[in-house]
Amino acid sequence: MRLRRFSLSALCCFFVFWLAACSSTSSGTDSATAPASSTAASTSSSGGKAEVGVAIFDMSDKFVSYITQGMKVSATKQNVQVSYVDAQNDTATQVKQIQQFISDGVKSIVLIPTDESSADQSIALANKANVPIIVVNRYYKSVDNATSYVGSDSTTAGTMQMEAVAKLLNGKGNIAIMNGEMGTEAQINRTKGNKDIIAKYPNMKVVLEDTANYDRAQGMALMAKWLSSGTTINAVVANNDEMIIGAMLAAQLDNKDKDMIFAGVDATMDALEFVKAGRLQVTVFQNAPEQGSQAIQAAVAAADGQTVQKQIMVPYELVTKDNVEAYIAKWQ
């Protein structure tokens, strides 16, 4: 028994280091769909002054690369020049980038904030300079002071996700919840949606809960820890797909993946392939390209003096093996 556990731990460590080394492909930016630069600004078309400045918390984030793809397509359709900058998850850097956009005279700003502090400061700076600012995907209280917010209702995602899991478990079983970065809107509300549904089923309970920070390698390491505890787990539910993929890989190493239900959120291309193969039972499609597209449309409209909606919500959609082909087609 000790030898088997040691082997599992060793293999998990190997995969964690391998995943970290390969982060540019497994959880990083796809060069075909997102800006290639890290800190330098890039524009969507050659020549001329940027009309819209886009400040992104981390261009290496895979989901963000899909949002950026939608922005680029929308900018091209509207023939608007966009400058993209990467804060590399640093609050001070992002605030300086917002200041630079304002100094450069952009007509509007699109922001995916690093955290609540950067959202607060960036929105305040834009409002003081009378530059419209559109916040995308990451919600904080200060976002209510922005010109508009474009995103999706995270509670709905958690509710849809857990309803599907409850149905697969016939309303009974032990649930392990993998949280994303603690304190983020998605983590709080997706988990709330999960627990709202669990509360309706007397024979379902949360037996394990911890954070893996939206990261595949951390999800794998956390799942290995849970498996080694000996706790019976009937379903693993994660706030995003990257963590649930890590959880599946760890369970596969211990030959436990066939005994559990796995559920994620985002319906990334990687996750959809796992759904198609029957290894991931549930994910919830968050239309990242549409969020990006709507953000650019709102930024252009606001720059032209038009009134834009205070909240622009892009609906979530449940994905299972029955309809996965339609969602794979969306990425092609």
78-124 per-position pLDDT tens digit? 999 999 999 999 999 999 999 999 999 999 999 999 999 999 999 99
Nearest to 177 by CA among 191, 196, 167, 161: 191
Q: For residue 3, count other CB atoms closer than 10 A to its CB.
A: 7
Q: What is the pLDDT of residue 310?
A: 97
Cα distances (angstroms) measured from residue 121 to each of 52, 125, 142, 193:
19, 6, 9, 30
The residue range of the domain holding 192 is: 154-286
Average pLDDT on 305-316 reads: 95
Whether 62 has a pLDDT exceeding 90, the answer reads: no
Residues 79 and 46 in one domain: yes
Residue 217 in any domain: the answer is yes
pLDDT, averaged across the chain: 87
State pLDDT tens for residues 126-135: 999 999 999 9
Q: Give the pLDDT band of residue 331 (cuts 50, 70, 90).
A: confident
Residues 68 and 159 in one domain: no
State pLDDT tens for residues 70-81: 999 999 999 999
Burial code (b: 16+ CB inside 10 Å, e: under 16) for 57-86 equals bbbbbbbbbbbbbbbbbbbeebebbbbbbb
Amino acid found at 220: M
Whether 255 has a pLDDT exceeding 70, the answer reads: yes
Q: What is the pLDDT of residue 61?
A: 86
Q: What is the pLDDT of residue 37?
A: 32
Residue 229 in any domain: the answer is yes
**Local structure of 3: helix, strand or coil:** helix
Residues 170 and 276 in one domain: yes
Three-class SS of 213-261: CCCHHHHHHHHHHHHHCCCCCCEEEECCHHHHHHHHHHHHHCCCHHHCE
84, containing H or E segment: strand 82-86
Residue 146 in any domain: the answer is yes
Distance between CA atoms of residues 92 and 90, nearest Å = 6
Q: What is the pLDDT of residue 3?
A: 33
Distance between CA atoms of residues 222 and 236, nearest Å = 11
For helices 241-253 and 269-276, give the axis angle rounded to 10 degrees.
Answer: 40
Going edge to edge, which strands form the sheet with 235-238?
Answer: 203-211, 172-179, 235-238, 261-263
Whether 11 has a pLDDT exceeding 60, the answer reads: no
Which domain CATH number covers 106? Answer: 3.40.50.2300
Q: What is the pLDDT of residue 42?
A: 53
State pLDDT tens for residues 22-48: 333 333 322 223 323 334 455 554 345
Residues 134 and 171 in one domain: no
Distance between CA atoms of residues 86 and 35, nearest Å = 9
| Number of domains comprising the chain | 2
